[in-house]
Structure 1
Amino acid sequence: MTVLVTFDLDNTLWDVEPVIVRAEYAMESWFEERFPGFYDQFDFAWQQEEKARLLARSPDLTGNLTAIRLGVYQQALKQFQLPSEECEMVAKAALAHFAEWRQRVDLFPHVAEVLEELYRDYSLAVITNGNADVYHPYIGLGGYFDFALRADQQGVAKPDPELFKMAAEQGKTSTTQIIHIGDHPHDDVYGAANAGAKTIWFNRHGARRWQDGWSQPADAEVYSLLELPAAIRSLLS
C-alpha cells in the first residue's frame, strides 16, 4: 500500500510570523489608501477583539481562518459606514489582497532539496490549518505535492482525525500508511496519531522540550528538515 508523507506548512516549511506581520502591514496600506482614517478606528488590536466576538457568535468558524478574516473586514467596513451593498464586495477584495501577501513566505533552508529527495520515493501531500496555497507561484512547491488539504476549504481542522482520513482517501491509502510531519504538538502530533498515522515532530534546532502535559510523544523527532529522509526510513523499517 502507498506510503503517504503529509506536511504541515506554517512553522514547518517556513516561519509564519513574519509572513503575517508583512501581510498586516500591507493591509493597513491597502485600507488607508482607499479609506483614510480606517486604521485609526480598526487597527490590529480592534481586529483581534472582533475576531473573538465573531467566534463567540459563530463558533463553527473556528479553524476557518479565511472566513474569520472576511467577517472581521465586513464588520469593520460596516462600522466605517460604508454602504451595506459595498461591504461584502470590498471585504472580498481586501481578502484577496491579503491572500496574495500571505503567500510571500521565506522557506526554511533545504526545503526544496528535501522535498525533491522525498518526492522520488513517496507520495507527498499537505494538511494545513492555515490558508497558504502551496501551489501559488510565489511559494513554488506545488510540483512536489499530489494534493493539499486546507482546513478553511474542507470545513474541518486539525487535530480532527477527519482531515487525516480525507488525506488517506484522496491518497488511495489508509491512515496507518500516513507519516505526518509538523511542528504543533497537539494539531499535528496528537491529531495525526489519533487518526492512526505515524508522526514526526519538527522541533526546529531542538528549541523546545516535550512537555508532560502534551499528548503521546511523536514516533520521531527532527531538529532539521535534512533529517527527514532518515527519520521516515526508520519508521518504515
Structure 2
Amino acid sequence: MSVLITFDLDNTLWDVAPVIMRAEYAMESWFEERFPGFSHQHSTLAREALRNNILSTKPELAYNLTAVRLAVYKLALKQFGLPSEEADSVAGAALAHFCEWRQKVDLYPHVVDVLEVLRQDYALAVITNGNADVFHPYVGLGQYFDFAIRADEVGVAKPDPSVFMIAARNAGVDISELIHIGDHPTDDVFGSSNAGAKSVWFNRHGAQRWSDDWGGRSHAEIHSLLELPTVIQSLLP
C-alpha cells in the first residue's frame, strides 16, 4: 500500500507568530529607509485596515495571502504619494523582501529527526495555506518533501477537499491513502477528513481541548511530533 503523509507548516513544524513579527519589523525598516515617514503613516495596524478593505471588495483573494500583501503594499504606496507605476514596482520589491524574511523560521524540536524517520517508509508532502516555501534554504527541509501544495499557487485553500485531492493525485495515491498532520481543527482536521483522508491533530503539548463546534474529531491526536511514527503506523491497515 502506498501512503502519502502531508504536513501543514505554520504552527505544525514551527511557531509562525515570531516569524511574521520579525518579518513585519524588517518591512518597517525597509520602507522607512526608502520613504521616511511611510511606517508612521502606514503602521502594521493601518496596513491591516487596508487588507480588510481589499478583502471586502475582492473576497476571492482570501486564499492568496501573497496577492493580498502585494495589493496592500501597492495601495499604501499610492496613498503615500507614489505614482501608480512606481508604486507597483516598489511593492513588488517590498514583497520579495518580506518573502525572504518569511522563510526565516525556527523549527520545533525533533522536526528533522521525525522527518528523517518517516522519509524511510513514506512519501512526504506539504499542504499549506501560507506562503512559506519549504524548499527555501532558510527553511532547510526541502530534501524531505516530494512536493508542496500552496494555496496561493493552486488557487484553492484548506479546508476545501480539492486541495487534498490535488496532493493525492500528485503522489499517485488514493485519497484514502493520505494522512494529513496539522494544528488547525478546521483547515487541517476537518478539511482532510472531509476529503476522505485520515487526519492527525497536532495539539502541541496538549494545550487545547477539542471543541464540539469544530466538527468531527481527528483520527488521532499527538502532543509531540515524536509520537508521529507510531501513530501513523497505527492508522495503517
TM-score by length of 1: 0.99
| Distance across 2 between alignment mates of 1:217 and 1:20 | 30
Q: Give the alignment of 1:155-170 within 5 angstroms.
A: 155-170=155-170
Equivalent residue letter for 1:197 = A
Query: Identity over the aligned pairs, expressed in percent?
Result: 65
Alignment match, 1:207: 207
Matched, 1:18 2:5: no
Distance (whole Å) between structure 1 residues aligned to residue 6 and residue 36 of structure 2:
44
- Unpaired stretches in structure 2, ≥5 consecutive residues: none
Q: What's 1:86 paired with? A: 86
1:180-232 per-position Cα deviation (integer Å, ceiling 9, x unaligned): 00000000000000100000000000000001111100000000000000000
Residues 1-237 of structure 1: pairs in structure 2 closer than 5 A: 1-237=1-237
Q: Identify which range, 80-89 or 17-26, moves more after superposition.
A: 80-89
Deviation at 1:115, TM superposition (A): 0.1
- Give, as a single letter, the amino acid of the residue that structure 2 aligns with 1:158: K
Number of equivalences: 237
Distance 2:99 2:29 in 1: 15
Residue deviations 1:21-70 (CA, integer Å, cap 9, x gap) = 00000000000000000011100011111111000110100111000000
CA displacement, residues 131-173 of structure 1 (integer Å, 9 cap, x when unaligned): 0000000110000000000001110000001100100110001
Q: Normalised by the size of structure 2, how large is the TM-score? A: 0.99
Q: Secondary structure at the match of 1:234?
A: helix
Unaligned runs of 5+ in 1: none
Cα distance in 2 between the residues matched to 1:217 and 1:18: 29
- Partner of 1:54, secondary structure, is helix
The alignment partner of 2:192 has SS state of helix
The alpha-carbon deviation at position 96 of structure 1 amounts to: 0.2
> Counterparts of 1:223 and 1:35 in 2: how far apart (Å)?
46
Secondary structure of the residue aligned to 2:179 is strand
Structure 1 runs of 4+ with >4 Å offset: none
RMSD between aligned residues: 0.6
Amino acid at match of 2:128: T
